[in-house]
Structure 1
Amino acid sequence: MNTLDRARRHLKAHPMALDAAIAAGVLACMVAGSFVDPHGAHDVSWGLRTPDPLSLVLIVLGAVALVFRRRAPMTVLALTGTVSLVEAVTGDPRAPVAMSAVIALYTVASTTDRPTTWRVGLLTMTVLTGASMLAGPLPWYAQENLAIFAWTGIGATAGDAVRSRRAFIHAIRERAERAERTREEEARRRVAEERLRIARDLHDVVAHHIALVNVQAGVAAHVMDKRPDQAKEALAHVREASRSALNELRATVGLLRQSGDPEAPTEPAPGLARLDELVGTFRNAGLHVEVARADNGTILPAAVDLAAYRVIQEALTNVQKHAGTEVKAEVSVVRVGPNIEITVLDNGAGEDLRPQTVGGHGLLGMRERVTALRGTLTTGPRYGGGFRVHAILPVKTRTRATEDPV
């Protein structure tokens, strides 16, 4: 088996050597056939006749032409057809020179399309068979003439069948490769989406809690000497913010654990149910926040609930970091038809520097979250000062699997 495989690979690497071997085999068959008399005393007799020199020359020419059948199939067919035609008209029609034309016709049919095969095949069959019947020395109904018609038809049909099989196998292989590429691209896309999601969560958690820690630490440092009780309270808020940050980081990083890990966290992702707790952390840091809710107790999908929570968290964090002192923020959660609308306003005075102008990722992360859920996000300064963040999220989300049919 190994020897056969090596021989097959060698022949594929050297196709001309294979064609030369085929030409030699066809030459041997044609020479042997020229010595056979199909009408002998015992039906088929060997050695009762010998081919004339012209027939041998035509046999050799037809066989040599087959060596180049892959490089120029049409040219080889024309040459072998010509020598077969000459043999049919001037020589002994029983010398099987037409065998070379049959092989050449097979090659043309296996390397071209079906219309070309039909045209060339019919032309070859008609010319060779017609010349043998009309201009040959044998009667038109002789079996040698009918054999030319049959063998040229078989050559064209076999070549077309081989071409169809090759095209079918190529289509299957191409479809399999395309499916493999699609699976790899889908896997890469999912990995990229998961990385972005984790990056957004880490950014939201770290930005929010570090901002709180920074504010409370600044308060503690400012009042440490004159008001130690207030400094102690600020440090307690720092400790609480740090603990919350560690818990959320542990929950986020826990998503990277392998499935079945008993140490993986099971705490649910934050949502609007924890809005009061979130707002309380900002109020403890000195930010005046008012909340208005008119969502009528709507139960949101987990992804929408988390996105709404993160939008409010990031917007309030930006207010605290960028809107200046003595700022008032307003948060509203309203159910409007099939959507839930989140609005965060502040009345910050002076030039409002937002993360997108200083290289941050807060607004970008919010936009990615909302867009992933087929929602819309608008941000921008308010007339008269301050900033506005407005997100519209659909209450019912559609999964990617239902949108991307296979």
Structure 2
Amino acid sequence: MTTETPDDWRRTGPTPEQQRLDLYAGLAATALALLSLTLARSTGTFLLGPPPSGLEQVLWTVAVPLPLIWRRRFPAATALVVSAAFIGSQARAVPEWQLSQWALFAAIYTLGAWGRDRRLSRRLRIGLIAGMFVWLGVSYVISFGTLTADAFADAIGPVPPLLAAIVTGVLINTLFFGFAYFFGETAWIAARRQHELAEQAERLRRSQAEVREHAVVGERVRIARELHDVVAHHVSVMGVQASACRRVFDKDPAKARVALTAIEETARTAVDELRRMLGVLRARDGAPDHAEQPAGIDQVDAVVDRAREAGLRATLGVYGDPTPLPESLSQAAYRVVQEAATNVLKHATGATVIDVRIRYLEHEVEVDVTDDGRATRPANADGLGLIGMRERIAAHGGALEVGRRTGGGWRVRARFPLPLTVGTPA
């Protein structure tokens, strides 16, 4: 895996709007340079020496700023052309130099700010600046060779005139090119940081979308688990009661009426639980939830009673000192008993006994459900009921054991560790 370094990042090219701005700016700089040339010729101040012909002056004056119209599209080529044209105009003693030097500044700055290849941009700028200082030295040698004896006749400072002229030129050019390099570097760094911020914002947006998607999936799983726990259990009980009612409807109407009554009560309970669950789902975040609270471990006896009404000899034993449990843990324990009882009614052939035991131990609470039936199929690890039990138990750091008993029948045992604030401390 490769990691992108700052120098590996390449800035994207200018937009069409930025290209149009460069065109207008380059043409404006060229027009101003021609105006500056006209004013310089009108004053007759030819500081660089005798100028060339008027046409050549115009050509050199145009050659320096005009390439700026491509400065952001081709920053390296623009910097090279502008630098060469600048040195050429200086060597030919073209009197226009004010606008030309700012065109040179803009070209070097743009190469630093928009150069796509960072290493090439840095080396090219250093090379151009070094070349400019070499040209400065050459121009000093040429200028000082033509000085007259009284050129510094009016000098009164403590520094030798020639040395003062050299130091002044070097200092001014150092500041000039230093600022061009620094501002170009700063602009490139700002663009890179803006790019990184945009990437981070995009990653954050994708991450938020994934979180929302995971939340939706998690909510769907929770709804599926709740629907399975609520519907499967009560429908299974109603199915057993309806079967019993059918068998004794003609022979023993009294028992049939008892079975129908049980079906009616079970159906009412199922509807109530569905309404409770829908109320929870419809409740807005932060809004008070007036729906009935889900059943907990203290209501396991209702599950045992329904199993007893379905014709099983159902027993419930509570061992140890009952400890108040957190609501989610209490509900998870209740759902384990409910799902185990549902499986007995649906899948245990010949089952006559179901035994539910709740043990409050020192550091955990144990739920143990056994029966004496024969399973009509092997345990299905992918079944919704078993998956739901495992998810609920795993959410509390517990363990689940499901399988046949040595003496016959089936066992579902769940262990839930007690929170540190519950139970007897170690």
Per the normalisation by structure 1, the TM-score is: 0.80
Distance in 2 of aligned mates of 1:59 and 1:193: 71
SS where residue 72 of structure 2 aligns? coil
Look up the match of 1:255: 280
1:46-99 CA-partner distances (Å, limit 9, x unpaired)? 564595354543443333432332233222222222222333445448635443
Which structure's relative contact order is higher, taking Cα pairs within 8 Å and 6+ residues apart? 2
Distance in 2 of aligned mates of 1:186 and 1:27: 56
Pairwise CA distance, 1:128: 0.5
The question of whether the paired residues in 2 share the 8 Å contact of 1:110 and 1:162 is answered with: yes
1:325-347 CA-partner distances (Å, limit 9, x unpaired)? 23433333334554333333333
Distance in 2 of aligned mates of 1:300 and 1:51: 99
Distance in 2 of aligned mates of 1:295 and 1:54: 108
Distance in 1 of aligned mates of 2:286 and 2:71: 65
Cα gap change, 1:65 to 1:313, in 2 (>3 Å):
same
Look up the match of 1:4: none
Q: What is the identity percentage for the equivalent residue pairs of Structure 1 and Structure 2?
A: 30
Pairwise CA distance, 1:298: 1.8
5+ unaligned residues in a row in structure 2: which ranges?
Answer: 1-13, 145-164, 422-426
The question of whether the paired residues in 2 share the 8 Å contact of 1:121 and 1:153 is answered with: no
Pairwise CA distance, 1:312: 1.2
Match of 2:226 among 201, 204, 213: 201
SS where residue 141 of structure 1 aligns? helix
Pairwise CA distance, 1:120: 4.1
Cα gap change, 1:329 to 1:246, in 2 (>3 Å):
same
SS where residue 377 of structure 2 aligns? coil
User: Is 1:361 matched with 2:379?
Assistant: no
Look up the match of 1:239: 264
The root-mean-square deviation of aligned C-alpha atoms, in Å, is 3.5
Q: Which has the larger radius of gyration?
A: 2
Look up the match of 1:395: 418
Pairwise CA distance, 1:289: 3.1
1:271-311 CA-partner distances (Å, limit 9, x unpaired)? 11001121111111122333333352122111111111111
User: Is 1:125 matched with 2:139?
Assistant: no
Pairwise CA distance, 1:133: 2.8
Cα gap change, 1:23 to 1:200, in 2 (>3 Å):
same
Pairwise CA distance, 1:213: 0.7
Distance in 2 of aligned mates of 1:191 and 1:350: 35
1:229-378 matches, within 5 Å, as 229-259=254-284, 265-294=290-319, 296-349=321-374, 351-354=376-379, 360-378=383-401
Partner AA of 1:158 in structure 2: F
Distance in 2 of aligned mates of 1:260 and 1:361: 28
Distance in 2 of aligned mates of 1:125 and 1:283: 96
Q: Which moved more, 1:160-169 or 1:245-254?
A: 160-169
Partner AA of 1:128 in structure 2: M
The question of whether the paired residues in 2 share the 8 Å contact of 1:350 and 1:385 is answered with: no
1:1-400 matches, within 5 Å, as 12-35=15-38, 46=43, 48-49=45-46, 52=52, 53-92=55-94, 95-96=97-98, 97-112=100-115, 119-136=123-140, 137-138=142-143, 141=166, 147-259=172-284, 265-294=290-319, 296-349=321-374, 351-354=376-379, 360-383=383-406, 385-396=408-419
Partner AA of 2:391 in structure 1: E
Cα gap change, 1:377 to 1:56, in 2 (>3 Å):
farther
Per the normalisation by structure 2, the TM-score is: 0.76
Cα gap change, 1:381 to 1:251, in 2 (>3 Å):
same
